[in-house]
Amino acid sequence: MGLAYNGTVSKTKTGRNCKSWERITINNERQTDQHNYCRNLHEDLNGPWCFTTDPDVLWEYCSIPLCADSDVFLEYCGVPLCVRLLTYILFGLKNAAFRYVMTLTLRQSQMVLLSHQNQKKQNCRMNQQGKNYTGKINKTRFGQKCQAWTSLVPNLHPFWIKLANDENYCRNPDTELYGPWCYTTDPGTRWEYCDIPYCEGADKPSKLTSLRFSRYTRLMPHLILHCYLKCKAKFTNQ
């Protein structure tokens, strides 16, 4: 995946120039001081990429060489990746899960496929966060239609690679405390929570501690404070 790659390649595999990360806001702590170099900020299985300066091509993968004579599977030049047991959901195989085992003695040609099984859909949530939910609800609790995760219109967001196969279904990619959500197709409402049912025997929150949400819950605190101070000053001056 090239998560550890910190080189200076700044062109895509088709030769397009990379756009500076400073000109793009994607809310990722690894974005700082990356100039316009190819990076893999969202753990894309296909490796480092970048936004391009071509107005017709939003982004492309970069051609980053693998380090020679390496015993670590898919080690990119730089710091070696940790070798661990992972389950990958591959692009183009929405309902398939592949499990690989890698050890320090394996080389690229020795990847072992242990199992292939259908990914079981979870149509309910086991707790308030609902990280396990993989169902097909695609409307918010207020009836707003969800924006597709691969779309950046009307809302630019950082999950377009991570959730590329989740269409426009409600998900919880950033571990929101109060459950699955989605960006909406309404330019005036950036995102809202979804009404996801609880599974039988799920760990439900107490009604006394459950937060009652409105479509404005996700306004940024500093904006709310600014409006409050502005209104207060207006009334004080009268």
Cα–Cα nearest to 170, from 141, 127, 202, 205: 141
pLDDT at residue 200 is higher than 70: yes
The rounded radius of gyration (Å) of the Cα atoms in the chain is 22
8-state DSSP, 31:
G
CA distances 52 to 7, 37, 87, 124, 218, Å, are: 17, 11, 30, 39, 31
pLDDT tens digits, one per residue of 113-150: 333 344 567 899 999 999 999 999 999 999 999 999 98
Q: Strand pairing of 125-127 and 198-203?
A: parallel
- Could you give all domains of the chain from N- to C-terminal order, each with its CATH number? 1-70 (2.40.20.10), 86-118 (no CATH), 121-238 (2.40.20.10)
Beta carbons within 8 Å of 97's beta carbon, 6+ residues apart: 87, 88, 89, 116, 117, 118, 119
CA 162, distance to chain mean position in Å, is 4
pLDDT given at position 68: 52
Q: What percent of the chain has pLDDT over 70?
A: 57
pLDDT tens digits, one per residue of 45-100: 778 888 899 988 888 999 887 765 443 333 333 333 333 333 333 333 334 433 33
Beta carbons within 8 Å of 58's beta carbon, 6+ residues apart: 51, 52, 152
pLDDT given at position 21: 85
